[in-house]
Structure 1
Amino acid sequence: LQWMRARWTSDPCYAFFGVDGTECSFLIYLSEVEWFCPPLPWRNRTGAVPSPPPPPPPQAAFRRDLARLLELIGTGKESLSFMKKRIRHLAQQWLRAARRLEQKLAGRQRDQKHILIHIGFLTEESGDVFSPRVLKGGPLGEMVQWADILAALFMLGHSLRVTVSLKELQSHLGVPPGRGNCPLTSPLPFDLIYTDYHGLQQMKQHMGLSFKKYRCRVRVIDTFGTEPAYNHEEYATLRGYRTNWGYWNLQPTQFMTMFPHTPDNSFMGFVSEELNQTEKQLIKANKVSSMAVVYGKEASIWKGKEKFLAILNKYMEIHGTVYYETQRPPEVPAFVKNHGLLPQHEFQQLLRKAKLFIGFGFPYEGPAPLEAIANGCVFLQARFNPPHSSLNHEFFRGKPTSREASVSSQHPYAEDFIGKPHVWTVDYNNSEEFEAAIKTIMRTQVDPYLPYEYTCEGMLERIHAYIQHQDFCTTSSLPPSPKTKTPAMQSPPSPLALAPNSTHLVWSPSAGGAPRAWPPVASLQVWLSEPQHTCTETCRRRGLVCEPTFFSFLNKEEVFLQLSIACDSTEYEMNHLYPAVAEHVRECYLQKEPLLFSCAGYNPKYRRLCPCRDFRPGQVALCRDCL
């Protein structure tokens, strides 16, 4: 009440809800619009009468064309035109993929979700630096991904609203007039909201208390990922992980990345065009073994690369697609055939002829290398030694991810998940190694290759699974993590058991009814990391994926005993590396804050308890029984 008395005129939204400076209006507002005060007994309580149960939600049906989506996206920005052009170009692939997934799901019931897609980085309020650069060689990766997200959600049969303006966002959310201090005027009409960091900030600014209430419905499209240490506001502030982008206290899997580089987040991805067998044969027949295309539309990427280009020029005709307006960029050597910025279909034709697609270290983790590999090119890239991260490289500094030891090349996904013969990662500082790689690549025959997870069907499958199974709004059935530890506390018995003839744990067949978890607990394996390894690396070395959802099951003292780890003491603390053991001093640590469960991070002092799972072939985001 004191706050209202002093500040009720600070935002017009209070007057909108009937606050007029009287004590009575304060009490009504605080008890009916916000929820700080109990309901007033003398007020008309018709709102408290139980309403009839809502009708069952309509079922989602796979769509048969994309025309309505193109209308929903709207007009007025080059970025939107680019996205619509991409959706049109891939329309037949989306339709075929939807039919295949529909057959795979065999009539399974799917509730239709009401989904708001707010692309915050394209709003004028966030500066929209992307739209003006679409035709000038600017980065297109984010727009590629958003176009594919829109297409996938639409094809899955959900009801969509698309906004790229703050005014539209406010209207769709039901934001009252004012400065954003009041809750929404009515319950949020959307089951899910897909946005980005800019949109998240805009929503927080304008939704008042409602943001906290509804943030569990948000999915954040986040190219490079957000690690738990950066996401937890208090921990990030105390431990020096605070950046301009993190500290949202969301569930880390609410962040959705472009590549599966951190299992702490959900892998959203994008799609590359899939070729049929006839197209693949045609491409192989028309390949020019002495033709290379350089990855880099901006002239700055070419600066200082004369040495590599000179070696490459001894063996191959080099093509570039560097944007320029009138004069050829001086950074591009005269022996390079520069086509200027090409429309997507012309760029694709270039890739279909070329043998080699070569990267010079930047941009990181874009879609182009996957497109090149899908069109039968070999991708050659530099190995980074030491690996790039937020600790040693300006590009990652300030991003809510350390990427410790994981950015070992320009495109870690291509290096780790595809590899030779399609991807060669070499030391560009070693001229002999670089030259030898070029010679070998020229002699190597490769087929066009596209990982399943980057096909339209793969993306539809993944998003379908997320929508069906990811629920951050209902209370989890997973075991809670104790906040404190007292001598009297007894953990429930561990549901894990040693795998036969092994040193890792699995879900025990005698554990009784398995909890309703997703992924299913049958896919869980618990491994102890080496001191220098993250859980991501620990699981990958065993052909598995780290699954942060499962940390709750191994955050128990008994698990140390089951793995024959002697603990002289066990502490519950807030640390993104826990649960872990410091073997040299026989100290064991359990996680006090579930939001900090993290596959990322290591410290030579600790061996970490790591929850791993299997995955579907070509679909790392989903376990074998996750669909």
Structure 2
Amino acid sequence: LEVWVFVSCSCRSRVGAQEVLWDMSIQPASLVERIQAIAQNVSNMASRVEQILQNSIVQEGSSSQCEVPRDPRYPECPGKVDWMRARWTSDPCYAFYGVDGSDCSFLIYLSEVEWFCPPLAWRNHSSLPTQFTQQQTKAPRRQAAFRTDLSVLLDQVGTGQESLSFMKRRIRRLAQQWATAANHLDAKLEQRWRDQKKILVHVGFLTEESGDVFSPKVLKGGPLGEMVQWADILTSLHVLGHNLKISMSLKDLQGFLGVPPGRGSCPLTGPLPFDLIYTDYHGLQQMKQHMGLSLKKHKCHIRVIDTFGTEPAYNHEEYATLHGYRTNWGYWNLDSRQYMTMFPHTPDNSFMGFVSEELNDTEKRSIQQNKVNNMAVVYGKEPSMWKGKEGFLQILHRYMEVHGTVYYETQRPPEVPAFVKNHGLLPQHELQQLLRKAKLFIGFGFPYEGPAPLEAIANGCIFLQPKFNPPHSSLNHEFFRGKPTSRQVSAQHPYAEQYIGKPHVITVDFNNTEEFEAAIREIMSAKVEPYLPYEYTCEGMLERVHAYIQNQTCSAPNEAHPGVGKQLGPMFVPLSNSTALGWSPNVPPPAAWPPLRALRLLVSQEGQSCVEACQRAGLVCERAHFHYINSKEALHALEVQCEVVDSEMNHILPAFSVMRRECGLQREALLFSCAGHSPKYRRLCPCRDFRQGQVALCRDCL
């Protein structure tokens, strides 16, 4: 088909041409540019005419010319065409992609934009409009370089919300510590190549559409833990040198992703422009609404910041629905390592964390000299946290001067006893000064697992917290009900109890008067120095985030790796009451992260999870390694006697029953779980070692 395009000049155009000729002696380059522009316009007009003619051919075609294919490779195609016939006007995005109500336009859309129908033979795929092109030219690799200047990041965070102001103040206050940490990690990595990633950060809970319940509470004692963590995540990604975009509104999210106009029913207009997307549960829901089918296609790029963790049984939608694990959160069918927590309490997930302010040697000496031995600060900024606490506060008051930081506008909160010196809500630097004087920082049992206890311990305080008996969980406590985890919380801050402990952390039953008073006397005579775990320093967080970005991939198959046990079986070595998997020095391990040489295979007791089994051996459960122990050969190497070996979907598998002589292997990779346990089964547990002060990484993981 030849298309002739005739371009005529109006009088106005001729005058324009004369003006160009008149200017030739002054600006010769301008004439060339204008001629090139005219030529480009003619070319564009020709392409447009060709597109119009092609569309008219489709319009003239009857439904018989575009018969709905019956292809067994595309079984959903006929049903999708029927749906389009009835609902194609329900979202403007279909018209954006050229759908006009004809069967031909339905089939073009369903074969070229979505993937439910086979490609149409008569379509010229090489000349398709840009929005139909699904191939992405692979961009050349670029090396990430550490950044110590945070001014660009501060501009990106923006203004307008108190939450953002809080985050920017935090970023500025820790700027020098981030710079020092970047230089240390740069030297440690010895100029190793690091891929620069294109990263989108969408903070869903701060968007206007999600209600932004945090900004109004920032100045009134509301929770700040999430904003602390997000500020540190943004800073880590920027300092590590990645190409960062920040979204805190649906408009920005749609613009960055290239969402077509409409209500979110259609896929994105092209390939995903980001290597990674960090968001939260609110943001994940927003992405589902606006990415359509593309969310499923691009799921592996997503990382969900998830304070309390999501266990595999809650994450697998079908399994959660069938077995009573369905909640308002979970059920996204992600690789459970894509959920990133505030503390390393759920090894099925990845530990993202945050940072606490570090002290130099001079500041530490000053704290030691200025500590007030009988001064206590209460962990509780909201009046409701003080209700019913006067009994043990009276005991504390007999030994110490009690200080509070409870928010109030005009009148002292009645929940705060008269003997408490209440400073009101303090800015961060004033709170730091108060903690540097205090000997004791005492928790009331809520909030759970916040950053404040680590800040207090880093400033030389002893943290006294209540023990929970029985432990709090979704089964017996309203706060945890509906959260996608069965984790049992034994104290207000389990990380402080387990990973720090005495003398910095003391956990007692506050309902036991004698035990509580004995703890106060112990604290009065104790001397401690400021302490901060390495994993909560700026360098520790940079190290961890760097390792995730460069090594962690999401490629879980629908079923366990077949045959891998045949390679590993001979390498199982019995170790007293457990069994370990070590690599033969003559056999290089397969490519895996964490490296397989870190793997140790243990067998749990009945009723024991792999989290507990690994912890008791001084190790950490590594979910990524379940694939390598999920085989008959692994059971045989353990000398387990099985009369029946089944493969099924169950979050306690792989496991075996000694009494029943039954063994079970995992059929669904998304259900590999460190947390699962059963009173009737002993579990096969993939454990690994970890770096000193950095539990998220094995010794060879950096």
What is the TM-score with the length of structure 2 in the denominator? 0.86
CA contact (8 A) 1:232 1:249 kept: yes
2:187 to 77, 80, 103: 103
Q: Kindly report which structure 2 residues correspond to 1:571-610, keeping only aligned pairs within 5 A, or say none.
A: 571-610=646-685
Aligned match of 1:239: 323
1:62 to 146, 151, 163: 146
Partners of 2:575 and 2:100 lie apart in 1 by 72
Letter in 2 for 1:494: L
Partners of 1:605 and 1:53 lie apart in 2 by 53
SS in 2 for 1:8: helix
CA contact (8 A) 2:560 2:668 kept: no
Residues 107 and 13 from structure 1, CA distance in 2 versus in 1: closer, same or farther, beyond 3 angstroms?
same
Letter in 2 for 1:38: P
1:464 to 546, 557, 568: 546
Matched, 1:282 2:389: no
SS in 2 for 1:21: coil
Partners of 2:479 and 2:136 lie apart in 1 by 54
Aligned match of 2:252: 168
1:229 to 304, 308, 313: 313
CA contact (8 A) 2:565 2:630 kept: no
SS in 2 for 1:82: helix
Give the length in aligned residue pairs.
Answer: 617
Aligned match of 2:609: 534
SS in 1 for 2:439: strand
Partners of 1:308 and 1:358 lie apart in 2 by 11
Matched, 1:43 2:118: no
Deviation string for 1:354-386 (max 9, x for gaps)?
Answer: 000000100000000000000000000011011
Q: Kindly report which structure 2 residues correspond to 1:605-620, keeping only aligned pairs within 5 A, or say none.
A: 605-620=680-695
CA contact (8 A) 1:481 1:591 kept: no
Higher percent of residues as helix: 2
Letter in 1 for 2:212: D
Partners of 2:325 and 2:134 lie apart in 1 by 46
Matched, 1:444 2:526: yes
Matched, 1:29 2:109: yes
Deviation string for 1:279-335 (max 9, x for gaps)?
Answer: 111101111110000001011111000111000000000000001111111110000
Q: Kindly report which structure 2 residues correspond to 1:451-490, keeping only aligned pairs within 5 A, or say none.
A: 451-472=533-554, 474=555, 480-481=560-561
Structure 1: give runs of 5+ residues left out of the alignment.
483-488
CA contact (8 A) 2:566 2:633 kept: no
| Identical amino acids, percent of aligned pairs | 70
Letter in 2 for 1:436: A
SS in 2 for 1:581: strand
Q: CA deviation at 1:533?
A: 1.9
Structure 2: give runs of 5+ residues left out of the alignment.
1-80
Partners of 1:197 and 1:231 lie apart in 2 by 12
Partners of 1:55 and 1:573 lie apart in 2 by 41
1:114 to 174, 198, 210: 198
Letter in 2 for 1:429: N
Letter in 2 for 1:419: G
1:273 to 334, 344, 357: 357
SS in 2 for 1:301: helix
2:457 to 365, 373, 393: 373
Q: CA deviation at 1:532?
A: 3.0
Letter in 1 for 2:386: W
SS in 1 for 2:230: helix
Partners of 1:248 and 1:175 lie apart in 2 by 21
CA contact (8 A) 2:534 2:540 kept: yes
Q: CA deviation at 1:47?
A: 5.7
Residues 54 and 491 from structure 1, CA distance in 2 versus in 1: closer, same or farther, beyond 3 angstroms?
closer
Aligned match of 1:422: 504
Partners of 2:616 and 2:470 lie apart in 1 by 20
Aligned match of 1:390: 474
Aligned match of 2:426: 342
More divergent stretch after superposition (23-32 vs 407-416): 23-32
Matched, 1:492 2:566: yes
RCO higher in structure (CA 8 A, sep ≥6): 1
Letter in 2 for 1:298: E
Q: CA deviation at 1:504?
A: 1.3
Matched, 1:248 2:322: no
CA contact (8 A) 2:148 2:178 kept: no
Partners of 2:104 and 2:127 lie apart in 1 by 19
Letter in 1 for 2:264: G
CA contact (8 A) 2:134 2:271 kept: no
Matched, 1:131 2:206: no
Residues 52 and 494 from structure 1, CA distance in 2 versus in 1: closer, same or farther, beyond 3 angstroms?
closer
Aligned match of 1:141: 225
Q: CA deviation at 1:490?
A: 11
SS in 2 for 1:9: helix
SS in 1 for 2:535: helix
Which of 1 and 2 has greater Rg? 2
Aligned match of 2:301: 217
Letter in 2 for 1:420: K
Q: CA deviation at 1:510?
A: 6.6
Residues 77 and 360 from structure 1, CA distance in 2 versus in 1: closer, same or farther, beyond 3 angstroms?
same
Aligned match of 2:58: none
